[in-house]
Amino acid sequence: MARARGRIAGAISVFGELLITTGVVLGLFVVYSLWWTNVLADREASAQGDRMRDGWSHSGPGELDTKDGIGFLHVPAMNNGEVLVKKGTETDALNDGVAGYYTEPIKSALPWDDKGNFTLAAHRDGHGAKFHNIHRLRAGDPIVFETKGTWYIYKVYETLPKTSKYNVDVLQPVPEESGKKKAGRYITLTTCTPVYTSDYRYIVWGELERTEKVDAQRTPPAELR
User: Which CATH number is 77's domain given?
Assistant: 2.40.260.10
> pLDDT band at 5, cuts 50/70/90?
low
Q: How many helices (H) and strands (E) would you count in the chain?
A: 3, 8
Give the residue numbers spanning the domain of 219.
47-224
Residue 11 domain-assigned?
Answer: no
pLDDT tens-place string over residues 181-207 = 999 999 999 999 999 999 999 999 999
Span 143-154, pLDDT tens digits = 999 999 999 999
Instruction: Please report whether residue 191 resides in a domain.
Output: yes
Residue 6 buriedness (CB in 10 A; 0-12 / 13-18 / 19+): exposed
- How high is the pLDDT of residue 66? 72
From 135, 134, 142, select the one nearest 207 (Cα to Cα).
142
Per-residue pLDDT, 211: 98
| Distance between CA atoms of residues 2 and 17, nearest Å | 22
Q: How confident is the model at residue 6 (pLDDT cuts 50, 70, 90)?
A: low
The mean of the pLDDT values for the chain is: 87
What CA–CA distance (Å, rounded) separates 188 from 108? 10
Query: Residues 113-153: pLDDT tens digits?
Result: 999 999 999 999 999 999 999 999 999 999 999 999 999 99
Whether 157 shows a pLDDT value over 90: the answer reads yes
Which among 78, 143, 192, 204 is annotated as catalytic?
192
Strand, helix or coil for residue 70: coil
Total structural domains in the chain? 1
Distance CA 143, CA 78 (A): 10
Active site residue 192: yes
In a domain, 2, yes or no: no
- Residues 51-101 have pLDDT tens digits of 999 999 888 666 566 777 999 999 999 998 999 999 999 999 999 999 999
